Amino acid sequence: MHEIKAGQSIELLQELHILTRDGKMNQDSRRKLKQVYHLTQFIEPLLLAIQKDHQDIQLVDHGAGKSYLGFILYDLFFKMAENGSHIFGIETRDELVQKSRALARRLGFPRMSFLTMSVADAQDSSLLPDQVDIVTALHACDTATDDAIQFALQKEARFIVLVPCCQAEVASILRKNKGKQLGGEVLTEIWRHPLHTREFGSHLTNVLRCLQLEAHGYQVSVTELVGWEHSMKNELIIATYKDLPRRRPGERLQQLLHLLGLEEMNTRFY
């Protein structure tokens, strides 16, 4: 049991199937716990940085699913704080939202809220604060990661933590325009084959997201979630608002869209 940190809720770890009902761990549980701790190691410094400015941290987790991340963060960092800090979990599947609400009540985690809505709808919801400190989106599918970025920009988030998931939109446009593009730049050979179209589209999407964040004054770090080998989607993007110069990344973003025939994506990556 030495892997469990002091003060952690045993009931929560059992609910998350990290511990068995009799409080034991197997090899799979140890791997899962290692993954969770690895991710929280990236987020803890962000929480501490915010607390240097103000104690009340507002965190919104998009595409929360079963809210593993939110519950672990609350248990480790929010539970003992007697302030107005709050974690909001946004999820479209109401059955998961209801289960998360019930678990929060059972654990006595009052400063957690779970809302049934899409990431896009969350931007205009009166149930969320006007300003948010941290926005997270782990494996938010399709365009939900992009909606989470828009949400974070609108809420003036200081930190954005993303593990992007399946995003087929860019690949579909590359595929659609392939015929007229292939006769031009030799660069189009990168996505000539269907498998390469999908893989390049996924990679390119994240490149565009990083440029978009930089164009809004963020410093962007891209790394790998070590220990998440079971998932092909283990790229971690952390953006920190620094009010950096924005002109060059904005120009590079537009040049890249034009070069690859993706001008119709201007409305998404602005």
Whether 14 and 107 share a structural domain: yes
User: Cα separation of 135 and 156, whole Å?
Assistant: 10
Identify whether 224 is part of a domain.
no
User: Cα separation of 6 and 82, whole Å?
Assistant: 19
Whether 144 and 40 share a structural domain: yes
Scanning the structure block, which residue is given the tokens 């996924």? 202
Scanning the structure block, which residue is given the tokens 């929480």? 47
Residue 182 has what pLDDT? Answer: 55
Identify whether 236 is part of a domain.
no
- Model pTM greater than 0.85? yes
Identify whether 96 is part of a domain.
yes
Residue 139 has what pLDDT? Answer: 79
Identify whether 104 is part of a domain.
yes
Whether 171 and 161 share a structural domain: no
Over the chain (270 residues), the average pLDDT of each successive run of 10 is 72 81 73 78 95 95 91 92 92 96 95 95 94 91 86 97 84 81 73 90 93 98 74 82 95 93 88
Residue 185 has what pLDDT? Answer: 72
Identify whether 254 is part of a domain.
yes
Domain that holds residue 83: 1-165
Residue 183 has what pLDDT? Answer: 58
Residue 219 has what pLDDT? Answer: 98
Chain CA centroid to CA 223, Å:
13
- How many residues are recorded in the chain? 270
Residue 1 has what pLDDT? Answer: 43
